[in-house]
Amino acid sequence: MLSPTQPITAYIALGSNLGDRRAAIASAIDLLNRDEHTEVTKTSPLIETAPVGGPPGQGPFLNAACELHTTRPPRDLLDLLLHIEHQLGRERRQRWGPRTIDLDLLLYTDVIINEPGLHIPHPRMHERDFVLEPLATIAADVVHPVLNASIAKLRSTLTS
């Protein structure tokens, strides 16, 4: 497994549709920055979106994306994201159900991983405008390593 000695760049998506959504996202970013192996280097503006999938009657989401520099290997970074979700009260009761915070590992440099519980790039990111819109504001020229298209191109294809 990749274990970088120099920081690499990774991208994550953040979302919340329960409680103080803005505070949950800010807290997640703060906790990422407190990790000695991870630094948030860019954060997109927040966007509000309707929920996609899941049970009816959910409130709207606030979504954002962050660029990270990290020396954590991919699985460790995912574990950190899951730990932060737990710290912020995330309960996994229902797939795509309402949540206080959702942190998804989207890209880890140009690495492609398909293992149980770890898929990089995120397998549905290119289908979701609520991921691509904020990601495009901080990483428009970054190329999806499987689809070989920039984030800006993927977003324009999705919204056209």
Residues with catalytic annotation? 90, 99, 102, 104
State the Cα–Cα distance between residues 78 and 54, nearest whole angstrom: 23
Residue 55 has, within 13 A of its CA and on its CB side, a CA count of 9
Rg (CA), the chain: 15
d(CA 25, CA 88): 9
Count of C-beta atoms within a 10 Å radius of residue 89? 13
Q: Residue 115 to residues 43, 122, 157, 160: CA-CA distances in angstroms?
A: 28, 12, 28, 33
- The CA-atom distances, in angstroms, between 2 and each of 5, 72, 75, 78, 112 are 10, 9, 9, 13, 11
